[in-house]
Chains A and B, each alone.
Chain A
């Protein structure tokens, strides 16, 4: 079942992706058919089953709480689309 325009618009807003009106309908259909298809997971009995979190192969590790990286401000800023001196710039967010 196709997702309605309101739902698609709400999800797009959550994902911060601007959509054109004509995209909303097509995406609603595509997303609806994918969601319908994954509904088949409802038939699996998962009573008492833990969710898989990682493969359980990597051991959690601790390291010394010490600086291991840094002092590379220009590298960090080197791909900034817009910057002012040592700062990233953003549109004004506080009135």
Chain B
């Protein structure tokens, strides 16, 4: 059956509704693609083909009656940070290597209620801590893109690297991601797909394994913004089980694609012209401005004066919260246990064996900045700077509707080009972290290829709960960029 891997989520939905294809056919084609290609990509930690086929059968019965939710029969992948009832959920950590949740996260429950079919659980950086998916206890996920002059394995970005790789390679029609400081947007940019980090409080955090609770936000990753909009509409919504969930109606995000950008004021934060940024990324950014201007938007320079403090503030706030959240992995109630004669000895041995290097480093720094005598100097000061960062955005949005920036300061790098200095590694997130700190929504869309043939993304940042304007502006870039390139490893490319 040719063309099945050319479907977007939206076109597959339409083909299912009009019965041009069955959910079982669609699901089987994706299961086959995973079997063929995932040995190279390692994007899945756990595959659930039997459950997927069962779900597809149920979907076909509903579709035959003209029923079924908005995602009826659509095969998706789920980042292995969302608890799935009865299906192992690891957070890519050894400490949760055999954890089988007895309940379902709200986001995945919403997708299932709408008829989605889950193909399995996708790879990530351990506890979502990383920007290259190199910190997984299950081995790194690999970017399906290659440089045109080299066969070196590239990273898919992180932490939602498995989600990004699986979507880009056509193994799933869409995936869930989570974004704490850029973990949806940066991997989306690295793999030539679209991803949305919604406003903090838009998607419930219930049942999503916590990294930094004041920043973690679930969002969709898919091949384009229409697909992301369809997924977001299903994932989002008020949940009484998450005290930070905001009770505001979920709009029709798909409809906002058609809005256009005429008269829209697009802000260009001057502080994002960072030192040492590659010329081709500056050029792509300029190109993005031209595209939006040509589509009828007005480009305005704005200032976000505290931009340079975004990353250090993030690494204090996020790591402090991580040290607190990860205290629950004690080897007693769930997860890996290493026996020892004393209770403290059991904690220390279990946590030493169960956590990877980067997770330990982050817990220790978080513990340090929260410890007696340092709390005011580090944590409290960082939370005050965070207020200033948020005020920068609120002030900018008095004058503009969205902000346009590059998503990341480089394209995907090779696995062996990972910086050894952790601070250098953190710079990957320099453009994505500030929006996370402020809680405002942001997205990444593919906008072009770099000189070596690897995708680059542009980021749009919006006002609280104005994902619709973001999607409208993002779609204008999509239309102008006409990004139809495919990665080297793709389900639709015959060997």
Contact = CB atoms under 8 A, between A and B. Distances in A.
Contacts of A75: 102-103
A49 B385 CA distance: 8
Interface string B54-77: 000000000000000000000000
B364 A31 contact: yes
B46 interface: no
Interface stretch (B289-297, B326-334, B475-483): B326-334
Contacts of A76: 102
A6 interface: no
Given A51-B383, A81-B337, A15 B240 contact: no
Contacts of A44: 306, 309, 381, 384-385, 388
B298 interface: no
Interface in B223-246: 240, 243-246
> Mostly helix, strand, loop or mixed at chain A's interface?
loop
A43 to B, nearest CB: 9
A49 B387 contact: yes
Contacts of A49: 384, 387-388
Interface residues of A, number: 48
B201 A55 contact: yes
B421 interface: yes
Interface string B96-109: 00111011000000
B371 interface: yes
B301 interface: no
A66 interface: no
Taking each of A12, A88, A93, which has the highest tally of chain B beta carbons within 10 Å of its own beta carbon?
A12
Interface stretch (B126-134, B155-163, B264-272, B346-354): B346-354
Interface in A14-62: 14-19, 27, 30-31, 33-35, 37-38, 40-42, 44, 46, 49-55, 57-61
Contacts of A46: 381, 384-385, 388
Contacts of A80: 332-334
B246 A37 contact: no
B363 A15 contact: yes
A30 B362 CA distance: 10
A59 B381 CA distance: 25
Contact of A41 (B335, B385, B421): B385
B292 to A, nearest CB: 27
B378 interface: yes
Contact of B240 (A42, A51, A57, A61): A61
B364 A15 contact: yes
B452 interface: no
Given A40-B312, A57-B246, A91 B342 contact: yes
B367 A14 contact: yes
Interface in A66-91: 72, 75-76, 78-82, 88, 90-91
B384 A91 contact: no
A11 interface: yes
A41 B331 CA distance: 36
A19 B352 contact: yes
A31 B361 contact: yes
B335 A81 contact: yes
Contacts of A17: 348, 351-352, 355, 360, 363-364
A90 B347 CA distance: 10
Interface of B: 98-100, 102-103, 199-201, 214, 240, 243-247, 306, 308-309, 312-313, 315-316, 323, 327, 330-337, 339-349, 351-352, 355, 360-361, 363-365, 367-368, 371, 378, 380-388, 390, 421-423, 438-439, 464-465
